[in-house]
Amino acid sequence: MEISNLINQLRSRFHQGVTRPLAWRKQQLQQLRKLLTDNEQAISAALHADLGKCHSEAWLSETGFLLSDIDHTLSHLNKWSKPRRVSTPLVAQPGNSYMQPEPKGVVLIIGAWNYPLQLTLAPLVAAIAAGNCAVLKPSELAAHTDKLIAELLPAYLDRDCFAVVQGGVEPTTALLAEQFDHIFYTGGEAVGKIVMRAAADYLTPVTLELGGKSPCVVDSDTNLRVTADRIVWSKWMNAGQTCVAPDYVLVEKVFVPKLLDAIKDSLKRFYGDDPRQSQDYGRIINLRHFERLQGYLEGQNVVHGGQTDPESRYFSPTIVLEPDWYSPVMQQEIFGPILPIVSIEHIADAAAFINQRPKPLAMYIYSNQSQLSKQLIAQTSAGSVCVNDGMMFMANPGLPFGGVGNSGMGAYHGQFGFDTFSHLKAVMKRRFIFDIPLRYPPFSDSKLSIL
Ligand code: NAD
């Protein structure tokens, strides 16, 4: 079907009010739940084919994540969709005021390839909950997951309200030429700008979930083993292809050898002597990204790893020591299994280092000194901060997930997702009694003095 016909069809369905009843939204969310549980094996196989994701990681970061997101949404939907009362000032008495969440309409969700299921369906959970129709455009780079989403979604959800468009630049460009009521984009900054420019033509609101270089500050006063385990877990999950992975480590010079040894020790415990043989270590999405990552190693002091195999897109967990500030590995988001360790004289200098770069999506601080983390949180800006852990903050639906500055705009997860796909309509209800005419013309100084 032509893209403009598809959007018209969804729009007319939306205007029929099909998506508005809470019972319908809940039923669609249950159907999405069923899609995930019925097809768990097929999903896991697709994610393995795309990214070498092992079953446990696929469950933790994609299918299981989505199931708890759906359950959380189902148990809070009644509350989120209720009118939200606010107080009414004396001048508007007698009266009452509230915000009524209403669905935005037909929304476009453009997903990324690194968590190709989660990043496409988690915004959909929020869009359904808020009562919208939606077009999904999964990333074509995760080809197996893309195909599976396109096959499964129409089999489980209302086909007149939800559609999947597959493909790369061409269909996405065609979609962006249409009018939507919200565009939710996950991916890199360059395409984020294309999306925002296209949205400007219709003044369509956008959510941009982008990336950036997320710093990881490690204080010498920390629990070394747990710190290393948590850095390794969050950096090398999905072979480093995670938007909130620690991009580089900032640590005091004297502490570098100890931290390096601890990270190597964790890597060995997690992935064995040869991570290529580990079932739990992923692969790079495609050759273009593989070669981009290889390029980052040119001229660098590689102190661990560095083994690569283009055929299987294996790229070992790699550590680079003291990279040059102006080298590509420190200028661009790595988005792969390379961890630069950068030393600073004093840990308190970390804020100045971070503030010289665009605002990151996430920042990590490992320290026993609560004063240090408090100071760093106050002195820097980031989409999210996690103290003494990696991306665990994502597991809390009570926290918004989104960037700031170059790392994005808008947020989702939990109620923040529901609100993203809703318009909070301001409503004031007045009564006809006590109509004090002071605000009506003709004006006079005596009327003004009473007001
Ligand atoms: P990608 O290549 O999968 O692109 C994202 C989407 O944009 C895809 O659906 C793709 O088809 C579409 N697209 C690509 N080129 C386009 C064009 N010229 N016009 C219109 N649409 C186009 O993703 P990517 O950009 O390689 O993703 C990596 C980036 O995404 C990293 O910076 C990463 O940090 C970020 N990311 C952010 C989050 C988050 O939640 N904030 C999550 C994952 C990835």
- The ipTM of this complex is 0.94
318, 337 Cβ separation under 8 angstroms: yes
pLDDT of residue 449: 85
Give the integer Cα–Cα distance in Å for 217 and 90.
Answer: 51
Closest atom of ligand 1 relative to the 141 alpha carbon:
3
The residues facing 427 across adjacent strands are: 98
Give 188 Cα–ligand 1 centroid separation in angstroms.
Answer: 5
pLDDT of residue 437: 84
Residue 105 region, left (φ>0) first, then alpha (ψ -120 to 50), else beta? left
Helix (H, G, I), strand (E, B) or coil at 223: coil
Distances (CA, A) of 185 to 159, 188, 403: 22, 9, 12
pLDDT of residue 427: 98
pLDDT of residue 324: 92
Say what the pTM is: 0.96
Give 77 Cα–ligand 1 centroid separation in angstroms.
Answer: 29
Contacts of 326 (CB under 8 A, 6+ apart): none
Contacts of 211 (CB under 8 A, 6+ apart): 188, 189, 243, 333, 335, 361, 403, 407
Closest atom of ligand 1 relative to the 209 alpha carbon:
41
What confidence tens digit (pLDDT) does each residue in 97-146 have?
Answer: 999 999 999 999 999 999 999 999 999 999 999 999 999 999 999 999 99
Provide the CB-side half-sphere exposure for 323 (13 A, CA): 26
pLDDT of residue 439: 87
pLDDT of residue 9: 97
Q: What are the pocket residues of ligand 1 if the criterion is a CB atom closer than 6 Å to any ligand atom?
A: 110-114, 119, 137, 139-141, 168-169, 172-173, 186-188, 191, 194, 209-211, 243, 333, 335, 361, 403, 408
Task: Extract the tokens encoding 43.
Answer: 């999903």
Of 215, 331, 337, 326, the C-alpha closest to 282 is 337
Contacts of 389 (CB under 8 A, 6+ apart): 230, 234, 364
Mutate-to-test residue for ligand 1 from 108, 172, 241, 334, highest number of ligand atoms within 8 A of CB: 172
Mutate-to-test residue for ligand 1 from 50, 51, 61, 114, highest number of ligand atoms within 8 A of CB: 114
- Quickly list H helices, 248-301: 256-271, 287-296
> DSSP string spanning 426-449?
EEEEE-SSS--GGGSSSP-HHHHH
Closest atom of ligand 1 relative to the 243 alpha carbon:
34
> Which residues carry out catalysis?
209
Give 23 Cα–ligand 1 centroid separation in angstroms.
Answer: 34
> DSSP string spanning 166-204?
--SHHHHHHHHTS--SEEEEES-HHHHHHHHHHHHTTT-
What confidence tens digit (pLDDT) does each residue in 28-44 have?
Answer: 999 999 999 999 999 99
pLDDT of residue 451: 72
First to last CA, the chain: 61
Distance of CA 194 to the CA centre of its chain: 18
Q: Which segments of the chain have a pLDDT < 50?
A: none
Across 233-351, where does the E strand assignment appear? 248-252, 301-304, 308-309, 314-315, 318-321, 338-344
Give the integer Cα–Cα distance in Å for 323 and 327.
Answer: 7
Give 398 Cα–ligand 1 centroid separation in angstroms.
Answer: 25
Mutate-to-test residue for ligand 1 from 50, 121, 139, highest number of ligand atoms within 8 A of CB: 139
Read off φ and ψ for residue 284, nearest 5 degrees. -75, 140
pLDDT of residue 286: 97
pLDDT of residue 184: 98
